[in-house]
Amino acid sequence: MDYTHLGRSGLSVSRLCLGTMNFGPETTEKDSHAIMDRALEHGINFFDTANVYGWKKGEGVTEKIVGGWFKQGGDRREKTVIATKLYGSMSDWPNDTFLSARNIRLACEASLKRLQTDYIDLYQMHHVDRDTPWDEIWEAFDILRTQGKVLYIGSSNHAGWHIAKGMEAARRRHSTGLVSEQSIYNLLTRDVELEVLPACEDYGLGVIPWSPLHGGLLAGVLRKEKEGKRRTEGRAKEALEDNRDAIEAYESFCAELGEEPADVGIAWLLAQPAVTAPIIGPRTIEQLDGSLKALEISLDDKALARLDEIFPGPGGTAPEAYAW
């Protein structure tokens, strides 16, 4: 396993991040623990979760599963860089949501209890809160860092200007600010290349792509449909129809390379300079084992250029992508 620093920080994390969103809803606690054990065996030390995962309001199902795994000992907690998030609603009461100083404090205490740990390595804002001043947000986070309950702060689903505004507010307070941004990023969804990625590179934030395979559409969906192994419905079906020609070309190109589409999609992200670690969300150990093949794929300039032809993205960074 290769490791890299999380943004400009000194924290070393694996080039793949284990996403835990399936733990609970899709994967049993026993199997989730086995997946996390196997991840450590592979050298994956970076795990991502959130207080709302498990999708039972206020219960923190997934964090509890991770906490139960930590409780087993064997240096599981010491070896793991655990990232969690707050923002989403944890009750029907108005102050148990978003990024007020109150919610930051109480949400952190609740996550620590569920995770059965006394500190969080990376505490992330799951979304931007346009109604809470940055000074209030940073004061609350700075207190947590001073108390040793949180080591690093990250954002998720923030626009480029949100990152800039937040970093400048932190700079005024002589705070560390953000070390990472977690955004949707894959060959089909490249909007972050306009301003989010440039902002992250300029301020020294590591980028943690979520949905790296766009819900499975970049994982050989057309072949699986023909084999009767997958049936797309709802938004996934609409997205497939909107991008069918590109996905057909993509799967054909992957076949030419002799590689699985899912592996090529992850390898492409790993080749992007701002990316720290794509989030992989396996439901089974077999899926986890298979995802490591992406680390062995090196895409040359010709292959990268062909992928840009198939999925052209926004055309570069702003403003050159749309102006002279």
| 186, part of any domain | yes
| 312, part of any domain | no
On the question of pLDDT at 235 being above 70, the answer is no
Beta pairing partners, 47: 18, 82
On the question of pLDDT at 31 being above 70, the answer is yes
pLDDT of residue 315: 92
| 55, part of any domain | yes
Percentage of the chain exceeding pLDDT 90: 92
Span 129-186, pLDDT tens digits: 999 999 999 999 999 999 999 999 999 999 999 999 999 999 999 999 999 999 999 9
CA atoms within 13 A on the CB side of 151: 14
Number of domains in the chain: 1
pLDDT of residue 234: 61
**pLDDT class of 239 with cuts at 50, 70, 90:** confident
| 110, part of any domain | yes
| 148, part of any domain | yes
Percentage of the chain exceeding pLDDT 70: 98
Question: Distance between CA 324 and CA 322 in Å, rounded?
Answer: 7
| 224, part of any domain | no
Question: Distance between CA 322 and CA 138 in Å, rounded?
Answer: 34
Question: Distance between CA 209 and CA 190 in Å, rounded?
Answer: 11
Domain of residue 157: give its range. 3-216+261-299
pLDDT of residue 243: 93
Average pLDDT on 13-37 reads 97
**Whether 181 contacts 166, CB under 8 Å:** no
Is the whole model's pTM more than 0.85, yes or no? yes
| 121, part of any domain | yes
On the question of pLDDT at 17 being above 70, the answer is yes
CATH of the domain at 102: 3.20.20.100
Average pLDDT on 207-232 reads 88
| 225, part of any domain | no
Active site residues: 53
Q: Which residues have C-beta within 8 Å of that of residue 220, sequence separation ≥ 6?
A: 251, 254, 260, 261, 262
